[in-house]
Structure 1
């Protein structure tokens, strides 16, 4: 018969802070996408309403889109490393251990990062394809 290890208080706190960071990582990719969406569409709407120079705004927003893509790529990369399917060889994590939950949160954050990248690209397409507000 094996006795189950009861975690110490400092082990519990370390695990909680790790999982708290994982939960933040899950929300970060979609949050960047949502902020990008609001800023792009809002600034283009104000630019067209105030009749500002759309070419300058478009160039700035394309640079902002590139920065958003880089930020989401960084979140995706750190999530991939947290998921760790190459070293563990376990893509599914069927067991309910805390390590499996940690890997699952990395997996979920990685997949949400992929969706966020697609979202940023689709929000940026009108900046590339349209010439003016009219």
Structure 2
């Protein structure tokens, strides 16, 4: 959008709809981390309480953890391309234009994906380090 004309209502509505869909990318990384946390800790608790085969459950959860890591990495990759600091050459948006807001949402989603990735790794560590129920 250029600065020499005011946006028309249809342009504003289209821009808002696009940014509204991009807001979901901010929540996907932490949501994947939270889902992974609940499934892993819940299933291990039930496994230990019911006396199920811990080795089989641990193997399944490690595969689930690998899938969660791939999912969060994919979310981060998409957010990196939305942020696009290599193409713009500017990691800080100073002008406040619609394009800058779009890049900021990508930047925020990318940073949240990094945090979610680390969260999934740390939730998965007990599966690797703890041998069974006690």
With the shorter chain as reference, the TM-score category is over 0.9
**TM-score for both structures, normalised by structure 1:** 0.94
Matched with 2:22 is 22
**TM-score for both structures, normalised by structure 2:** 0.94
Counterparts of residues 77-88 of structure 1 (less than 5 Å): 77-88=77-88
Distance 1:46 1:67 in 2: 22
Matched with 2:94 is 94
Matched with 1:11 is 11
Matched with 1:112 is 112
**2:36 partner SS:** helix
Distance 1:13 1:117 in 2: 34
Say whether residues 1:75 and 2:66 are aligned partners. no
Q: Alignment RMSD, CA only?
A: 1.4
1:4-31 alpha-carbon deviations (Å, 9 max, x no partner) = 3222333223211221122100010000
Q: Which runs of 5+ in 2 are unaligned?
A: none
How many corresponding residue pairs? 133
Structure 1 stretches of at least 4 aligned residues deviating more than 3 Å after TM superposition = none
